[in-house]
Structure 1
């Protein structure tokens, strides 16, 4: 029996954009709730609380490609609906979580749903709109994800004023409405048997490797050095096993042949390092406002908001720079340098007395401008040197690198901060954390210089391993 959906492109676009927004929002909304979650679960350390973020991000990163390919093969609409239902059910469970580790477990389930939402919503969007209208539709879909990043901390701050549980509860009515509208207005699409079954075992191995590395970092202050070394070593061994498996599997999570393309490898290195610094800086800034300045959740959320609001403005500036023939690698490096400068401004300005306008806001604005210049440039340029038949897979890998960098950034920030006592100790710990994060941003700037595409030699082609799933709109616009 065929799909009975009534195709109304504008409604379909709205529903699919909401799906993307929900998945992205839960990557950012939790930061401002750390203090309140900790108060509800007394005795839990910052290292343990970090898994509320990391558990979601690790699983989200590892399953983007496999779940997208499964949906390509069997049914994108079914994948979207199952993703929405799981996301809604897990959100409700998060809101009712009786302990921290139950919350982390439910966040993992949320991430599985979210990882299904991104590739299925974009794949369905492309099937709804004719080729001449796809670029505009994809820009709107992409903007919903950017809006989630900007709105997350502020929305989280407002909701936490009632209860941190509301940051999860709010997903439930929105998700239910999205399911009902998707059932009626979003038509199905699939590639069928031409889409190969993905390497799910490889995805599990990658998840374990990232989780072990994050665990080793966040526990570095709590465990004996030998235990940390063992955990990190096992993480490296499993990563090696994943890479070996990827080199032999017909449809690996990451195709090693793609990383042989210089610009693509540089883009992945740049976005991973950039997101280490970006995620770490966001968490450190939130913790400074709440732990040192004693800001409420809503004050913190509103304090974070000006930085993300700079992103769309300076994304346009970056577009003008590229239009003026400034190499994309140089543009990205400039963005990374601005981010590092923003961190430097904060490090040299912040004191024990809250002075947001003079001490924090300038660095936050400079850093937000840098994000606007760097991040969209990386996302829109990473696959430029790949053959067209590997464009979508390359996009998926870049998004995976982005999420892995975020996990490492949160873990690194927690490891360097430790558990400071008193203002002097706290100030020193926060400065150390910001300096480490700033160093990653500077290294990202150097990595970005290798991103500038060059003309592909005739006959150059990355070996084809079968159809792929598009997971980022920026490669289509």
Structure 2
């Protein structure tokens, strides 16, 4: 098994990194995060128009234009991070950017629905390689004491994508057509490649002598993809349908096989040894739980505005901007907290802020009558602000517990945990609305209550003292 401890022959790490280089690296990586996370949501706005372009294609097939990206992205994050540490983060980052530009072009020029779905899956795959490599570069170039600030800024870039996503998507579809939603990625990705290739070579703190286990990589990618696809699409496929059961059982078996194999292989596909560090394990568990409640809430927001309050796409986008802006601001502020105890209590406060917003939204204050300024805006500020804090604190906890030579692998595993929790959250939303089909207000209130309960669990997890998280595991 690969040793997770730093070795004497490792070159100097981020403690001696040049401040200017760290800033350039963060800027390039934030640009990559922006386009990667933008494409997780921006296509939702274009979907109705895309559906009219391919009237002969069933709707349940067309939904893979949205879910195909998300499934491929989540499935490959863990092995992508491991490969980035083995091949060199700068090299893989540049290749992934080029691939993202190419697959975005394929989506924009797709002659049919099948081509578009295939392009979206490939686009999600390249984004999965781009994200952990990008953040791994940032962590390697950033002094340890400033990692929280870097993660906060990087998280804010993802939050900015959420802010402008609906507006950008709506404007592009309105003025240039749905293909522009994909084609706009091409010049942005190309513009990032040149500065990406010029980043300092602090990404290769230690090259592994061999590539990670290819059998394990294939198993974990296919397994995670199958499980996430089943959880995401189970409601439409049918939870007891043969395809759903096969994906769930087969995918789980493949993931277990990959994990067991990784404990014995000299070059494991999954850096399972990182879980020996309690802080990293806690951060992964927190990311999974928070991903479940956060994704359910984020998806429920536009549904609530459309179904109950009758908002238009642009009105919904403006209302949703409140929480996204709050998350951007608090993620940057949380990143400035440098002490472990301060970060822990900031995380608890953030989780309780988020929970309080959900409790409020489960009351009659959020009913069929619009209450934008008296209810939605303050709840959005409270919940979005909490999200920004929790995401930054969990990311900082994970990054600070990982040795430099495994930055990308650790980040890949943490983001995978969040995306996996997110898939569960989407399934949870579908299950609630299936259980309460005839009363939309009650369904939303039930969902918000369940999300609040998970928020309390995250707060309790974050409240565990730091010394209990970092106890020796040997």
Compute the TM-score of the two structures, normalised by the length of structure 2: 0.78
Match of 2:459 in 1: 445
| 2:182 counterpart of 1:206 | no
Match of 1:400 in 2: 416
Instruction: Encode CA deviations 1:86-137: one digit per residue, 9 max, x unaligned.
Output: 2112112223445555433212211222223234445556788999999987
- Aligned residues of 2:152 and 2:335 also touching (Cα < 8 A): no
Provide the rounded CA distance (Å) in 2 between the counterparts of 1:321 and 1:175: 32
Provide the rounded CA distance (Å) in 1 between the counterparts of 2:196 and 2:106: 23
Of 99, 102, 111, which residue of structure 1 is paired with 2:124? Answer: 111
- Aligned residues of 1:76 and 1:120 also touching (Cα < 8 A): yes
Larger deviation, residues 375-384 vs 407-416: 407-416
* Structure 2: runs of 5 or more not aligned: 1-19
Of 223, 236, 246, which residue of structure 1 is paired with 2:252? Answer: 236
- Shift in Å, 1:25: 2.2
- Aligned residues of 1:214 and 1:411 also touching (Cα < 8 A): no
- Shift in Å, 1:50: 5.4
Provide the rounded CA distance (Å) in 2 between the counterparts of 1:353 and 1:265: 43
Of 33, 39, 46, which residue of structure 2 is paired with 1:20? Answer: 33
Instruction: Encode CA deviations 1:151-171: one digit per residue, 9 max, x unaligned.
Output: 334433433434443322211
Match of 1:196 in 2: 210
Match of 1:467 in 2: none
- Aligned residues of 1:277 and 1:440 also touching (Cα < 8 A): yes
- Shift in Å, 1:175: 2.1
Provide the rounded CA distance (Å) in 2 between the counterparts of 1:159 and 1:397: 34
| 2:445 counterpart of 1:431 | yes
* Structure 1: runs of 5 or more not aligned: 1-7, 463-477
- Aligned residues of 1:385 and 1:455 also touching (Cα < 8 A): no
RMSD over aligned Cα atoms: 3.9
Match of 2:356 in 1: 341
Larger deviation, residues 131-140 vs 19-28: 131-140
- Aligned residues of 1:311 and 1:373 also touching (Cα < 8 A): yes
Larger deviation, residues 55-64 vs 83-92: 55-64
- Give the 3 Å change call, closer, same or farther, for CA 29–315 of structure 1 in structure 2: same
| 2:266 counterpart of 1:250 | yes
Larger deviation, residues 432-441 vs 104-113: 432-441
Of 363, 369, 382, which residue of structure 1 is paired with 2:398? Answer: 382
1:431 alignment partner, SS class: helix
Aligned length: 449
2:235 alignment partner, SS class: coil
Of 153, 169, 186, which residue of structure 1 is paired with 2:183? Answer: 169
Instruction: Encode CA deviations 1:348-405: one digit per residue, 9 max, x unaligned.
Output: 2333344433343232221112112211111112354566666664333222212222
Provide the rounded CA distance (Å) in 1 between the counterparts of 2:47 and 2:359: 25
